[in-house]
Amino acid sequence: MNDRNKWIIGGLGLFALVLITFFLLSGGNENQSSKTANADEDSDRSIRSTAKSLFDDPEFADAPTPEDEELSQAESLWPMALEKKPDNREKIKEEWRDFAAKYPKNFYIPKAMRPARTEAEEKAAVQALDDFTAMDASIASDLSKNKWADAGSTPGAEPKKPAPAKQKAYFDFKINELESRIQMVEYWMQNNGVNASDKANAEKDIKLWRKELATLEEVRSQVPKS
Amino acid sequence: MEKKFAISLNFSLKFLDTGSKTRRNDTNGVNVLNMFRSEDKMKKIIAIGSFIALFTTLPVWSQTQAEMFQKVGVIGDSLSHGFFGATVEKKTQDWAYPVLVSKQAGASVSYNVLKGPFVNLEDVLKWNCGVICIASAIIGGNVSTVSLPTHAGITGAEYTTVLRTSGKCADITATKQEKQWYWATWYWYTYRWVTVADCQEPDKFHQFGLRDAGTQAQIMEKVKPTFLFGTAGANHVLCTALHTSTDCLDEARYKRDIREFFRRMTAMGSLKGGVLFTIPNVTAIAYLEKYTDPNGRANYSGLKAFYRSSVSDPNQVLDATEISNITNFLTMLNNEIKAQGATLRFAVADLKVIFDDIKENGRPLKSASGYTPGNARANWPLPNQPGMFGLDGVHPNMYGHSVFANELIKSINTRYGFAIPQVSEYTAWYYDSLNRNPVDLKGFLTESIFGQVISWVISIFT
């Protein structure tokens, strides 16, 4: 093979490589034409996927919709975020109204569904949150410390005795929440077509919670008055 | 990867070598003109050689990435599980960082899909979740299940639970003494004490997340992944922030269990790579805010939980000494993660450094066209202020997970020479409901459910 032939073969090889590269990078003419064919669909998709179509009065309303390539990524990574959620707010408020009529003192009823609180009551609610979470964090800390304690190990020293009123407020919060939780789950089971598995889980939980409730009530009764 | 690169380099060097031989021959030939022609030819050959080398190498690179991500395994905690103030559900599991990174790498992971326990506070406060929804979410359950999940990350887990907590038993190593009656002789029926397994029911995240597949470590041993997301270190230290106490710190247990976990992973023999990350500074999370005692008492000043209106006991703050102890523990914890990463030749993303920077300067957030809503903060979103966290101030929101994923992708690409594409953080922010319709949490602190949500969060991470 002479030099000239070598260069011809080399050139043809290079040409083939360039062609392959072109096909790899462009995705081929077929993809290109399908891209064109899908242009209208992409445009519809972009309109459907704007923040204004998905959210009510979104923050940064002028933020541009992600570009097509990013939109494709979003469809793959966060498909649920691109779905418009049905507006069930009125239905949910109605649900709460019905529930509140049956259980007016239930812990979980939102503020908006309760009679307005006075300033003093609101202040008391803030204090109750402070007291409850402080006690709860302290108990959690002790649990965490001893979670993996060896069998046979003894618990640490008795903690500093809290003010009885604070301890009673903690139990009041726990008991109120637990009773309310049971009411809510029972309401769900009565008013919704609960499947067998959920029903079994709920019944098991209610049984445990009732036991826990009895323990909490028993301990609360031991808290001194002052 | 290094081997493939060496092949490519060697190939190019052979061409260079051919060129140098040609040059030597021509120098011997004395003809100056021929020498110039030869050098020209040599340059062409080098160019073609390099071109061919590049092309022959590219498929090998992609094949290596495909090989490494052939079977992805995930262990971890609430971060990998997709816990979001205060529950785990399909949409939050789908946006969690291991799922994003795996998809970007052309792989996938499988997991048991949850519908609770507990509640999505964002949905409750926006009136998207009422009595029925809250009740069913508190009970929790599975939307769909798999017999052997490849993603076994579970909310509340740490390296100890990775080794010891299954979907059926809180501690598979726990034992108790049981009386066993037996025939000691043909005429004497008596008893003896025997040690038996003490299987206590685990928390619901483990029950629904792992079901009957075993502990996270056992699941990985069955899956035999080629690539591992292996970080479960956060809850060894996060407890300090949530309890405002350093009582839960246990260096000996942490070191023992992380080492045992990676010993077992190494023994599997299937791993080709993996990624770990250092734990961000837990005293800098949005859950905590600065508090100065009005009476100037040092042990009443420091960091308090964001929802607390006042401090009436030193236990309710992390004071300067405690913060220093946590910082030291975190350094030890992260050094151990880096050491394990180095031993296993894994990628290690230094999220501690990255989140320190975000806390200080925010995270740049920009669309492809250059639009920016401003830098995102290491907080939950507020009106006119993008944020990376959910309403518990501890866990990332959908956008936050995209940032997390990108930092891991960068680290994997650097370590293994891959080109896994980044996630569009702008797109994640654009479609993040909490960012687009922020909730000003301070306006809801006296909602009764808020106190209970905090109680759940605190209890999960004990």
Chain segment B275-317, per-residue pLDDT in tens: 999 999 999 999 999 999 999 999 999 999 999 999 999 999 9
- Residue A198: partners with Cβ closer than 8 Å, 6 or more residues away: B136, B139, B141
B288 to B55, B249, B379, B392: CA distances (angstroms): 53, 18, 10, 10
Burial class (CB in 10 A: 0-12, 13-18, 19+), B340: buried
Q: Are strands B347-349 and B273-277 parallel, antiparallel or unpaired?
A: parallel
Domain chopping of chain B, boundaries? 1-68, 72-167+207-460, 169-201
Is residue B407 predicted with pLDDT exceeding 70?
yes
Query: Which residues of B are less than 8 Å from A191 in CB distance?
Result: 132
Of the two residues A86 and B8, the one the predictor is more confident about is A86
Q: Is the dihedral of CA B2, B6, B8, B12 positive or negative?
A: positive
Cα–Cα distance for residue pair B285/A179, rounded to 1 Å: 33
Residues 332-391 of B with CB under 8 A from A: 367-369, 371, 373, 381, 383-384, 386
Instruction: Provide mean pLDDT across the span B170-190.
Output: 96
Tokens coding A146: 């001893």
CB B4 within 8 A of CB B60: yes
pLDDT on residue B57: 42
A-chain CB neighbours of B435 within 8 Å are 59
Give the dihedral sign, CA B413/B419/B424/B428.
negative
B158 touching chain A per CB within 8 A: no
Cβ distance of A60 and B436 shorter than 8 Å = yes
Beta strands in A146-190 (DSSP E): none
Residues of B in contact with A156 (CB under 8 A): none
Q: Is B438's CB within 8 Å of A129's CB?
A: no
Between A and B, how many residue pairs show a Cβ–Cβ distance under 8 A? 223
Which amino acid belongs to residue B176? Answer: K
| Amino acid letter for position B394 | V
Least confident interval from A14-18, A147-151, B211-215: A14-18
Cα torsion A127, A130, A136, A142: sign: negative
Q: How far is the alpha carbon of B188 from chain A, nearest alpha carbon, in Å?
A: 32
Under the banding of pLDDT at 50, 70 and 90, the label for residue B442 is: confident
Q: Which two tokens stand for residue A158?
A: 């008795």
Any idea which of A86-90, A154-158, B191-195, B206-210 has the lowest mean pLDDT? A154-158
pLDDT mean over A162-167: 94
Contact call for residues B399 and B425 (beta carbons, < 8 A) = yes
Per-residue pLDDT at B401 exceeds 90: yes
pLDDT value of residue A14: 66
Q: Which of A36-40, A80-84, B210-214 has the highest mean pLDDT?
A: B210-214
Question: Which residue is closest to B161 within chain A, CA to CA?
Answer: A148
pTM of the model: 0.85
For B113-143, how does the pLDDT look when each residue is reduced to its tens digit (9 = 90+)?
A: 999 999 999 999 999 999 999 999 999 999 9
- Position of tokens 């052997």? B148
User: ∠ CA(B305), CA(B302), CA(B307), 5° rounding?
Assistant: 15
Residue A222, pLDDT score: 97
Shortest distance, CA A149 to any CA of chain B (angstroms): 11
Domain B72-167+207-460: homologous superfamily in CATH:
SGNH hydrolase (3.40.50.1110)
Terminal C-alpha separation, chain A: 109
Q: Taking 50 as the threshold, does the pLDDT of residue B1 lie above it? A: no
Whole-angstrom distance between the N-terminal and C-terminal Cα of chain B?
41
Residue from the list B94, B128, B423 with its beta carbon closest to the beta carbon of A80: B94
pLDDT above 50: residue B163: yes
Please tell me the total number of residues recorded for chain A in this structure: 226
- CA-closest candidate to residue A177, choices B277, B451, B164, B271: B451
Lookup: tokens for B442: 């301070």
Say what the pLDDT of residue A27 is.
39
Classify strands B227-229 and B273-277 as parallel, antiparallel or unpaired: parallel
Element spanning A85, H or E: none
| pLDDT for position A30 | 42
Q: Does residue B224 sit at the A interface (CB-CB below 8 Å)?
A: no
Comparing CA positions, the residue from B376, B154, B348 lying closest to residue B286 is B376
- Which of these ranges, A40-54, B56-70, B79-93, B353-367, has the smallest mean pLDDT? B56-70
Q: Which residues pair with B189 in a beta bridge?
A: B183
Q: Looking at B149-223, which runs of residues are DSSP E strands?
A: 175-185, 188-197
When pLDDT is cut at 50, 70 and 90, the band that residue A25 belongs to is: very low
Q: Which of A158-172, B42-56, B110-124 shows the highest mean pLDDT?
A: B110-124
3-state secondary structure A8-66: HHHHHHHHHHHHHHHHHHHCHHHHHHHHHHCHHHHHHHHHHCCHHHHCCCCCCCCCCCC
Report chain A's mean pLDDT, rounded to a whole number. Answer: 86
pLDDT cut 70: percent of chain B above it? 86
Provide mean pLDDT across the span A111-135.
93
With beta carbons less than 8 A apart as the criterion, state whether B277 and B351 touch: yes
Q: What's chain B's length in residues?
A: 462
Q: Do B242 and A137 touch (CB under 8 A)?
A: yes
Residue B254 pLDDT > 80: yes
- pLDDT tens digits, one per residue of A188-201: 999 988 999 999 99
- Per-residue tokens: B17: 């070598």
Which of B134, B248, B305 is closest, CB to CB, to A133? B305
